[in-house]
Amino acid sequence: MWQKISQTHFLDHHTDSAGICHIWEADFTYRLGPEYVVAYLPLVLLVIGQFVHSISGATGLFMNMTGHQNVFRNIVFIAAVSNIGINLLLTPRYGIYGAAIAAMVTLTGWNIATLVFMKRKFGKTTGYFPVLL
């Protein structure tokens, strides 16, 4: 059941993510104006992080429903502290790009950590990885 939900979520977000990433800077400039070109790469980085989140499935919901909410809380807490640390390191030097990298890395790390815990504990995950199937 969880994988079917993840598959549906993947199919919905895959097309959205691909669509956003295929908008080139020229299209971005044409649609939004030249002042938004600087936001193109951070947008792509955030889309990549959200894509990983979508293929991971409902990790938080699964962890809460199986009584592992404390483990999930700890994973999210570590991700939040890491996000603050990475932002403090990267944002002063790289600006919006550093902030986007920090968000992408911590969101991806949080989902991967939760999937690893689920795989070790239950032998399966909520993720949907069509490339690996």
How many C-beta atoms lie closer than 10 Å to residue 66's C-beta?
A: 13
Residue 45 domain flag: yes
Q: How many domains does the chain have?
A: 1
Sign of CA dihedral 119, 122, 127, 130: positive
The answer as to whether 133 is a domain residue is no
Contacts of 82 (CB under 8 A, 6+ apart): 105, 106, 109
Q: pLDDT of the chain along its 133 residues, tens only?
A: 555 555 555 555 555 555 655 566 667 667 777 777 788 889 889 988 988 888 888 898 999 999 999 999 999 999 999 999 999 999 999 999 999 999 999 999 999 999 999 999 998 888 877 655 4
131, part of any domain: no
**Is 132 within the bounds of a domain?**
no
- What's the distance, CA 6 to chain centroid? 14
Q: Is 92 left (phi over 0), alpha (psi -120 to 50) or beta?
A: alpha
* Any domain includes 42: yes
Give residue 80's domain range: 2-122
85 in any annotated domain: yes
